[in-house]
Amino acid sequence: TGFCPVIVEKPFGKNGKEAKELSESLTKHLSESETFRIDHYLAKTLVLNLLTLRFANRELGHLFHGHHIANVRITFKEAIGVQGRAGYFDGYGIIRDIMQNHLMQVLTLVAMEAPASLGAEDVRDEKVKVLKQIRPIDPKECVIGQYDGYQDDPDIKKLNAQKGYASRCPTFAVAVMYLDNERWSGVPFIMKAGKAMEVQ
């Protein structure tokens, strides 16, 4: 009885099926208004300022259009490798760990139309519209890789020994996406993420 808010942060299952099962198990005990799914990456100052950048300055807002932008690049670079996180990271990889959630959230904030209000549900609704407008990603416009030295990490060596083969976990990935809407038609959104990069 009463209001019992619960905060859920990723990883929330390893795939859509697991995430759906976890969500269904939560709904047995909590209402949707009590369940807060968060992404800590959205608390970064630059990300927090995206809505202000987009919608507080009308002139700047007009420039966020395919008529004025050749491409949009959303990049995550870390100088460190997987030290101390090898067990977790090797099971997820850079796509699941960074791209499908953190960077996809940034993409929706950059590409969305102005929400009816800054209320959480109105912002969410506009972000969902963006996600629905993303074309299926062409594998020919994707690259994955693994940094030199990944296989030499002591924890990765242990995991490889347990599995009986060398890890194929990507630590670097690039994907080019397109949105099917008037504002962004024909503009490539280039999403890039990598660990152990020379420059952050």
pLDDT tens-digit map of 5-24: 888 876 677 788 888 898 88
Cα-based angle 94, 98, 107 (whole degrees, multiple of 5): 130
Main-chain dihedrals φ then ψ at residue 107, nearest 5 degrees: -55, -45
Q: Give the strands of the sheet with 189-194, arranged side by side.
A: 72-77, 189-194, 172-177, 142-145
Q: What pLDDT does 52 receive?
A: 84
Q: What pLDDT does 12 receive?
A: 74
Kindly report the number of other CB atoms within 10 A of residue 93's CB atom.
21
Active site residue 62: no
Q: What pLDDT does 167 receive?
A: 96
Q: Identify the bridge partners of residue 193 per DSSP, sorted by sequence position.
A: 76, 173
Residue tagged active-site, from 62, 67, 68, 102: 102
156, 130 contact by CB (below 8 A): no
Q: What pLDDT does 142 receive?
A: 98
Please report, to the nearest 10 degrees, the dihedral formed by the alpha carbons of residues 38, 117, 132, 169 taken in order.
-30
- For residue 50, give the DSSP letter: H
Q: What pLDDT does 1 receive?
A: 55
Q: What pLDDT does 199 receive?
A: 60
Q: What pLDDT does 11 receive?
A: 67
Q: What pLDDT does 16 receive?
A: 81
Q: Which residues of the chain have pLDDT under 70?
A: 1-2, 10-11, 43, 199-200
pTM, two decimal places = 0.85
